[in-house]
Structures are given as structure tokens and as C-alpha cells.
Amino acid sequence: MSSRIEILNTGGYRSDGRRQYELRTISIDLSPQGSGADGCASLTHGLTQVNVCVFGPREAKIRSQTYHDRANVNIEVAIATFSASERRKRGRGDKRILELSQTLKSTFEPVIQTSLYPRSQIDIHIQVLQQDGGLLQACINATTLALANAGIPLYDFVCAVTGGVHSTSPLLDLTLLEENDLPNVTVAVMPRSGKVTVVSMETRLHVDRFEEIFRLAGEAAKVIHVDMKKAVRDRTEQLVASMQSVGRPPTGVDIGDEY
Amino acid sequence: MDVDDEDLFETDGMNLTWPGKSLTSAQEYMRGHGTYVDNEEVIASVSGIVERVNKLITVRAVRTRYNPEVGDLVVGRITEVQPRRWKVDGNSRQDAVLMLSSVNLPGGVQRRKVESDELQMRSFFEEGDLLVAEVQAFFGDGTMSLHTRSLSYGKLRNGQLVTVPPILIRRLKSHFISLPCGVDLILGLNGYIWVSKHIKENEREGEEAFDAEAVYSNRNDVIDDSTRLAISRVTNLINVLASRSIPLTDTVLLDAYDWSLEQEGDVKDLLQEDAGDALVATILAKG
């Protein structure tokens, strides 16, 4: 049973009070989560919340999966049973989850400089805690932040956003309600070059509408990049400040007798 | 929000950067670690501090796995026993290798390797053992090769392992620290710290009496309660300091230990938030 909620009312407001091109509130937390991970990130887009932990590069657990000239990137996604409005347990072999993992793997393999780490493995564990639309978008953004937090060399950030169209009006950053009703596409770009790394759509969209949505989503992703950049910068500044607070700045080998 | 904010962000004169940030022109500068070249521009690939030495630009990552150098002292755990070598987990990108020819064999430091040694490798080091060693060399793919050819290196016992991020450990003149409370510390540069009961100097094995029983034994000595409490206290302090990203040097640890002795409450209360804040404030005031 669905109630008739207006996707976009005549005043230009959406069901959650946003305007047409307005993005949801982003909150980013890069502090360590106590799991011993090399890097972790917790990201929310409005009500969608995703945690990512990155381990690596480290010795591969399964020898047969290593490459002699580069690192193997391994992505595991776990969706919490309480994340959606209906409680549902999804096993690791669930097709939707496997598809999501595969998309993420092919997104990040060209972005991580894997050739620097032969015979190693990078493990990325994604946990979805709350879903309110934009799952792939949140996973991509959170994974980028966790990788940057772990000190793994990347060619650039990867920033993603969803876009949809409601009878000729384009909308950005869709909630679950809007995703279920409207044709929508997820676009991920690398902001410095503007190159698009992921375009993912599971609905039908008229070709005349596609170009506008695609272009808008690309620009919106650059705006998200600003938030992500700021979070990484603040965290780096915090760490540098703590590390320099004692003794001399870390410039390498000690002479030894300062203390 | 200023979308065009592309200036280098400065903190006390340090230039911070993030992945994808364009640093400079590749025509004038050479690229170092942490950067790559694209379209005649040097671009950072990690988040950290930009360092420039003459014409070389590098980015030193603020958080990364341990980067080994020859001569580093590391603490590691044996993960595998292979023909004539052991694989050691050293908190690095790949497991390190400890060759059988790089350990001291019982019966004399200069004893040659015999075939029966190869068959008895587990009597020296088994899976799960902890050891302290030095980085001797590198293999082609960056794997460390370790050696324990000194009397101060070898198997570890009578203590507890603490793991911290490797960047918090600076290179010091000596990584073997003795705290006044009867606790010895070994600060491995790979972030593994060994906190143990104090061994007196004259009780360490001498050159002549290189006793396999003692050096490769798996049995701990008897440790009394006060030493155990001291070891736990030091472990908690290290965990608190590491969680706040304070570099771990001998002076910092000594100050922290003195401060903690003045506090009331149990050793476990050191792990509380407010105790941690107070400790950090004291350390920063002295530093």
C-alpha cells in the first residue's frame, strides 16, 4: 500500500523538504573505530549510513589469488538486517550484494595504485547500517575516504551521486522513496580530471533526459568532493599536529642525545 | 563553501595535501614517493605532508603501513615455517623472511649450519613465536630479510605485545628501554612494542655460554604480581597515547608512567576518556 506522496510539489520542494538540486546533509567521521583497520570511514548521506574499514596492503591470506606484479583488491559488503524498513537477513552470497561488490571492485581497481604492492592484498569491508536511497553512491564515497585515510595511494578521489528525473525536472541525491518511483542513475567521477568512472542505472530512462541528468550529476559529484576533501584535510592536520606536539618534528634519523 | 579553494593548506609551515591534488609542474621538479605524474604535473597520491629537497618533491603519508629500512629493529611474529626459512609477520605490506642462516644456532655463535638443523627448525622458532630482529636486506619485491645475529635479538618472553601505528615510533639511538619500575620495553619500528619483565644485564647470556635451552626456550619465568601490574600499566599508557597519536619516545613514556603513579584508581582506569585527556594534557605541557 503506497500513499500518494508528492515527489516534487508546485512550490519546488521535495518530500523531505529539499529543493530540486539540493543534496542531503553529509557527515563524515574518519576517526579510528577500534577494529585495527589501517583506515576507516563512516559516511552518511542524509539517512543512509555506511561504514568502511580498509586493511592493507598486507600479506595475502590465499596465495592463489595474488598477482605477481600488483595488489589484489578484495571487497566485501555486509548489509545489516536492520538497515531497511523491513528486517531482512541477507547472506554473503546474495546476488545484489555480489553485484554491488563487483561494481565497487571494478571502480577502485583502476584508482588504487596497485602496481606498487606486488603479491599483496587490500581488503575493503563495507557495512551498510541504514538505507535511505543512494547505496552505491554512499559506498563509493565512503570507500574513497577510507582508502585515503589508510594511506593507500590513489590517483584521485572518486565521488558519486545519484540523479533522477521527475517528468522533465531533474532531481539530485534521491532518497529511497524517490528511487523507487523515478528513473535514476548513479554517476561517479574523479574530480581533478572530470573523468567518469561509474555510470550505473537499473531503471529505464528516456534518452533525451539522460544527458541533462548525467551532466548535473557529474557537477554535483564535484561539490561532494569539496566536503570529502575538507574531511581528509582536517584529519591530516589533526594527526600532524599531534605527532609534532612532542619533541622535534619527525624529520628522520635521530642524532640521539637531545633528551 | 568556496569550490575553488585549491591553495596548499598550511599548518605551522607544513604543506598538507590529499590524493589528486596537483602540486607543481613536472618540468621543474622530479617526482618522489607519494606522487605521480600526469600531463606534466606532479600530483599527490596520498594524504600527508609535502616535502621538497632541491628538485625532488615527495609526499610523506601521515598514516601508512610500516616502510622498512635496512638496519631497523623490528618485532615480529612467526606465521609459517618453510624449508630453511621462516615467514614473519611484521606489520608491513608483506610478511618478512627470516633465513635459517640468519639466526644464532645453539652451541656457539659461529657454528656452521648442519643438515639436522634444517629438520629441527621448529625447535628454534615455531608458528606464533615472537621475536626481535633487525632488517638485513630487501628482496626484489620489497620483502624484508631479517637477522637475529646478535645476543640482544632473538625470541621474546615474559611480556606482552602492544600494537600501535608505525609512524608514532621514531628512530632512536636505542630501542631497548628500561623503565624504573622493573619493566623493559622494546620499541619495534614496525609498530609492535614488547613490554616485559626486566632482565638484569649480567643475567643475559654471555658469548661462551650460548645456551639453546635458555635462548630458544618457550617457558616464561615466574613473574610476580607487582611486575605484572607494572606491565599492564605501561601497556595501557601506550594504548592511550597511541589512540591520541602522540609519538612514543622514552621521555614521553617515562613522563606518562610518573604521571600515572600519582593518579588514584586502578590501572584499568587509565583507559577511561577523562584519564586519557588528562594524560595527554600533561605530556603536551612538558613537551
Quick: pLDDT tens for A142-193. Answer: 999 999 999 999 999 999 999 999 888 999 999 999 999 999 899 999 999 8
- pLDDT over 60 at B202, yes or no: no
Chain segment A122-144, per-residue pLDDT in tens: 999 999 999 999 999 999 999 99
- The shortest C-alpha distance from A58 to chain B (Å) reads 4
Q: Check whether B111 has a pLDDT greater than 80.
A: no
Given a cut of 90, whether residue B50 has pLDDT beyond it is: yes
Interface test with A, best of B2, B14, B91, B94 (most A CBs within 10 A): B94
Whether B209 has a pLDDT exceeding 70, the answer reads no
How sure is the predictor about A252, in pLDDT bands with cuts at 50, 70 and 90?
very low
**Stronger pLDDT, B106 or B38, i.e. the higher one:** B38
- Pairing assessment for the beta strands A72-79 and A120-130 based on DSSP bridges: parallel
Domains of chain B in sequence order = 5-61 (2.40.50.100)
- Statement: residue B21 has pLDDT above 70: yes
Pick among A62, A63, A113, A242 to test the B interface (most B CBs inside 10 A): A242
Tell me which of A196-200, A245-249, B138-142 is least confident: A245-249
Q: Judge contact between B148 and B154, C-beta under 8 A.
A: yes
Calculate mean pLDDT across residues B147-164: 90
Residue of A233, A236, A251 for testing the chain B interface, max B β-carbons within 10 Å: A236
Each residue's pLDDT tens digit, B51-77: 999 999 999 998 888 988 999 999 999
* Integer Cα distance of B63 and A239 in angstroms: 9
Nearby residues of B183 by Cβ (< 8 Å), 6 or more positions away: B195, B196, B197, B198, B227, B230, B231, B234
CB distance B16–A237 less than 8 Å?
yes
Q: Determine the residue of chain B that is closest to A56 in CA distance.
A: B93
Which of A200-209, B131-140, B264-273 is predicted least confidently? B264-273
The per-residue pLDDT for B13 is: 61
Average pLDDT, chain A: 89
Check pLDDT > 80 for residue B264: no
Contact A256 B93 (CB under 8 A): no
Please tell me which of the candidates A155, A229, A247 has its beta carbon nearest to residue B249.
A247
Predicted confidence band at B14 (pLDDT cuts at 50, 70, 90)? confident
The sign of the dihedral angle between the CA atoms of A235, A236, A240, A241 is negative
Cell triple for residue B266? 586502578
- Chain A residue with CA closest to B2: the answer is A226
3-class SS of residue B17 = strand
What is the per-residue pLDDT for B210?
Answer: 55
pLDDT tens string A13-58: 999 899 999 999 999 999 888 778 899 999 999 999 999 999 989 9
pLDDT for residue B110: 65
Phi, psi (rounded to 5 degrees) for B52? -125, 125
To probe the interface with A, which of B245, B248, B286 has the most A CB atoms within 10 Å?
B245
Contacts of residue B53 in chain A, CB cutoff 8 Å? none
pLDDT at position A3, please? 54
pLDDT at residue A222 above 50? Answer: yes
- Is the predicted pLDDT of residue B109 greater than 70, yes or no? no
Instruction: Compute the nearest-CA separation of A178 from chain B (Å).
Output: 27
How many cross-chain Cβ pairs, A to B, lie less than 8 Å apart?
Answer: 146
β-strands B22-25, B41-44 pairing: antiparallel
The confidence score (pLDDT) of residue A47 equals 95
Answer yes or no: is pLDDT of B9 > 60.
Answer: no
Place of cell 559516511: A43
All cell numbers assigned to B65: 603501513
- Note whether A55 contacts B: Cβ–Cβ < 8 A: no
pLDDT for A248 beyond 60: no
pLDDT-based confidence at B120, cuts 50/70/90?
Answer: confident
Distance CA(A191)–CA(B165), nearest Å, equals 30
Residue in A155, A193, A239 closest to B245 by CB: A239
Task: Please say if the pLDDT value at position B10 is more than 50.
Answer: no
**The pLDDT of residue A73 is above 50:** yes
Q: Tell me the β-bridge partners of B86.
A: B81, B98
**A66-80, A119-133, A135-149, B202-216: range with lowest mean pLDDT:** B202-216
**Residue B287's pLDDT band (boundaries 50, 70, 90)?**
low
Which of B14, B16, B94 is the closest to A119 by Cβ? B94
Using the beta-carbon criterion (under 8 Å), do B18 and A243 form an inter-chain contact? Answer: no
- pLDDT at res. B211: 62
The ipTM of this complex is 0.86
Q: Which of 90-149 (A) contact B at CB < 8 A?
A: 113, 117-120, 148-149
Is residue B104 within 8 A of residue B215, CB to CB? The reply is yes
Name chain B contacts of A36, Cβ cutoff 8 Å: 163
In angstroms, the separation between the Cα of residue A183 and the nearest Cα of chain B is: 29
